[in-house]
């Protein structure tokens, strides 16, 4: 039933473009999360070191990134690195931005490993690197899996910011369709639905994971 | 320094340990001979556990020197200055010292077998096959061969502690530190753990330093008992003497309170 505000015809016509956009959205989320989870771990470990020369600048950088909006970082990086494609810049900025949050999740996970685990490792004379790799991180990362899932969902929902640096993800595709057909309502509604369709099942999955690990 | 029968396994020289304003060890001197089984008794807070933790480098002494087999361990004198020994060198001495903890501290992300072979492979450089062979022998010794592929959380406290003992022994320590190893166990599980330790005491010549509230065990296994009070040794004797006719008034009080 079509009205002035809603036309099923447009809602269906916009879908193929949105699905192309969704692929870019998912690609950016996956690449961004890979960067965030690796870099976040590196940041968490570095910040635990006792060398002030390293911890201080890294701590400053983390605070700086967390205190400025993602949108500003995206636009800024896009202006700065004109030689790289926008999509690549977008993935990296998303990854770095979320790495600062992921590092806190890792830190909490590492802190949750009982002191006795470190002491047992010392008593066995395990080298520090081996203690991290074989004892602490496997236990810590287990604790961080739900956090990782939650940040993946929130990153996914923040990908529309990529539209501001001309990456044609789902939201930009909807804007483009709206602009050329003068029908925004259907396009934007469908974007919302597609986001919901991906995030909601993912969040259920994360919750199940949380319960299983608890 | 060459090792011979008269070189003590452990020697403390004027060891001071403070936690803030609280002086836990105040210039402690004592030696443990090779193959000795020494039990440290005394009220909580008297510094017994701190001695074990210093020997495992889990704490660092504020002053004084500790020798293992005559080798300076964490600090040494250069001229008349006490300097810290870097961790790389400490590690070579630490390797000869093993510890079993009150809370077991097994690695929950590894199986029983993996717990035992981890350090022999990655510290002693043994091959995996060799490490497994040793581990299986030790599991047999502690009566847990059938648990080798279980995760620690599937085991009872007593079983976990026996795995922890096997894990410590897999490093072939010359000195074994036992820190209240039965205190976290349900009473009915204590006997198995003590049985394993008695067996180790009888069949090896590992030097043992034991902190325990199990006086019966102390009596059976150790050849020397040191009574601590306020960071000092106030009485020292063979178990028979100290448990039947303690000389010091504080020792009498302490034994009356716990027996």
Note the pLDDT tens digit of each residue in B126-153: 999 999 999 999 999 999 999 999 999 9
With an 8 Å Cβ cutoff, is B96 touching chain A? no
Lookup: tokens for B3 = 């090792």
In a domain, B80, yes or no: no
In a domain, B125, yes or no: yes
Q: What integer pLDDT is reported at residue B4 of this predicted model?
A: 56
Q: How many CB pairs under 8 A join A and B?
A: 56
List CB contacts (< 8 A) between A127 and chain B: 122-123
Best of A50, A113, A123, A143 to substitute, by most chain B Cβ atoms within 10 angstroms, is A123
Residue A101 has pLDDT above 70, yes or no: yes
With an 8 Å Cβ cutoff, is A119 touching chain B? yes
List CB contacts (< 8 A) between A114 and chain B: 105
In a domain, B33, yes or no: no
Q: Where are the beta strands (DSSP E) in chain B?
A: 10-19, 22-32, 37-41, 63-68, 71-72, 75-78, 81-84, 97-100, 175-179, 207-211, 224-229, 232-237
Q: Where are the domains of chain A?
A: 25-213
With an 8 Å Cβ cutoff, is A120 touching chain B? yes
- ipTM of this predicted complex? 0.93
Mean pLDDT calculated for residue range B198-226: 91
With an 8 Å Cβ cutoff, is B204 touching chain A? no
- pLDDT tens column, B27-45: 999 999 999 999 999 888 8
SS3 of residue B226 by DSSP: strand
Q: What is the pTM of this model?
A: 0.85
List the single residue in B58, B97, B106 with the smallest CB-CB distance to A119: B58
Give the number of other CB atoms < 10 A from CB of residue A192.
Answer: 13
In a domain, B127, yes or no: yes
Q: What integer pLDDT is reported at residue B188 of this predicted model?
A: 87
> Average pLDDT over chain B, rounded to whole?
92
Per-residue confidence band for B69, with pLDDT thresholds at 50, 70 and 90: very high
Q: Using the beta-carbon criterion (under 8 Å), do B56 and A119 form an inter-chain contact?
A: yes
Mean pLDDT calculated for residue range B70-89: 92
Q: What integer pLDDT is reported at residue B46 of this predicted model?
A: 83
Query: B55 or B43: which carries more pLDDT confidence?
Result: B55
Residue span of the structural domain in which B129 resides: 107-172
Q: What integer pLDDT is reported at residue A214 of this predicted model?
A: 67
Nearest CA in chain A to B108: A139
Mean pLDDT calculated for residue range B85-106: 93
> Average pLDDT over chain A, rounded to whole?
91
Q: What integer pLDDT is reported at residue B5 of this predicted model?
A: 65
- pLDDT tens column, A50-63: 888 888 999 999 99
- CA–CA distance, A121 with B106 (Å, rounded to integer): 10
Chain B residues 48-67 with CB within 8 Å of chain A = 56-58
Residue with tokens 């992300």: B109
Q: What integer pLDDT is reported at residue B1 of this predicted model?
A: 45
List CB contacts (< 8 A) between B110 and chain A: 134
Query: A212 or A159: which carries more pLDDT confidence?
Result: A159
Nearest CA in chain A to B116: A124
In order, the DSSP letters of A44-91 are HHHHHSS-HHHHHHHHHHHHHHHHS-HHHHHHHHHHH-TTS-HHHHHH
In a domain, B140, yes or no: yes
Mean pLDDT calculated for residue range A170-176: 90
Query: A3 or B96: which carries more pLDDT confidence?
Result: B96
Residue A132 has pLDDT above 50, yes or no: yes
- Give the DSSP H or E segment for B134: helix B128-141
Whole-angstrom CA distances from A114 to A108, B157, B180 are: 12, 17, 18
Mean pLDDT calculated for residue range B51-64: 94
Mean pLDDT calculated for residue range B185-194: 90
- CA–CA distance, A172 with A177 (Å, rounded to integer): 9
Kindly report the CATH number that applies to the domain delimited by A25-213: 1.10.3720.10
List CB contacts (< 8 A) between A139 and chain B: 108-109
Q: Using the beta-carbon criterion (under 8 Å), do A125 and B91 form an inter-chain contact?
A: yes
């Amino acid at each position: 039933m079509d009205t002035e505000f809603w036309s099923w015809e447009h809602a269906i016509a916009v879908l193929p473009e949105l699905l192309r956009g969704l692929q870019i959205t998912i690609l950016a989320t996956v690449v961004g999360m890979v960067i965030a989870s690796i870099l976040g771990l590196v940041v968490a470990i570095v910040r635990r070191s006792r060398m002030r020369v390293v911890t201080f600048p890294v701590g400053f950088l983390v605070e700086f990134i967390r205190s400025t909006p993602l949108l500003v970082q995206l636009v800024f990086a896009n202006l700065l690195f004109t030689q790289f494609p926008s999509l690549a810049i977008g993935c990296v900025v998303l990854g770095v931005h979320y790495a600062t949050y992921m590092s806190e999740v890792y830190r909490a996970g590492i802190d949750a490993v009982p002191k006795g685990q470190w002491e047992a490792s010392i008593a066995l004379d395990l080298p520090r690197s081996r203690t991290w790799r074989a004892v602490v991180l496997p236990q810590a990362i287990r604790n961080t899996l739900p956090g990782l899932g939650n940040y993946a969902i929130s990153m996914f929902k923040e990908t529309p910011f990529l539209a501001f640096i001309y990456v044609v993800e789902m939201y930009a595709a909807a804007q483009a369709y709206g602009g050329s057909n003068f029908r925004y309502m259907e396009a934007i509604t469908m974007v919302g639905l597609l986001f919901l369709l991906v995030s909601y099942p993912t969040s259920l999955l994360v919750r199940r994971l949380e319960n299983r690990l608890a | 320094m060459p090792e011979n029968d008269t070189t003590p396994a452990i020697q403390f020289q004027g060891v001071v340990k403070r936690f803030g304003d609280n002086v836990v060890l105040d210039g402690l001197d004592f030696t443990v001979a090779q193959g000795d089984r020494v039990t440290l008794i005394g009220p909580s807070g008297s510094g017994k556990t701190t001695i074990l933790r210093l020997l495992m480098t889990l704490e660092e002494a504020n002053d004084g020197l500790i020798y293992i087999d005559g080798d300076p361990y964490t600090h040494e004198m250069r001229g008349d200055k006490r300097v810290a020994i870097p961790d790389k060198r400490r590690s070579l001495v630490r390797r000869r010292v093993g510890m079993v903890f009150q809370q077991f501290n097994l690695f929950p992300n590894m199986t029983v077998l993996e717990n035992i072979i981890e350090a022999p492979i990655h510290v002693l450089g043994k091959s995996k096959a060799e490490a497994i062979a040793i581990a299986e022998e030790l599991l047999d010794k502690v009566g847990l061969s059938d648990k080798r592929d279980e995760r620690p959380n599937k085991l009872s406290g007593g079983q976990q502690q026996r795995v922890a003992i096997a894990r410590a022994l897999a490093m072939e320590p010359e000195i074994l530190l036992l820190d209240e190893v039965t205190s976290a166990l349900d009473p009915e599980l204590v006997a198995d753990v003590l049985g394993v330790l008695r067996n180790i005491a009888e069949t090896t010549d590992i030097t043992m330093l034991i902190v325990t509230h199990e006086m019966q065990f102390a009596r059976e296994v150790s050849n020397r008992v040191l009574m601590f009070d306020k960071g000092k040794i106030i009485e020292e004797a063979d178990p028979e003497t100290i448990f039947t006719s303690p000389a010091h008034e504080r020792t009498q009080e302490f034994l009356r309170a716990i027996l």
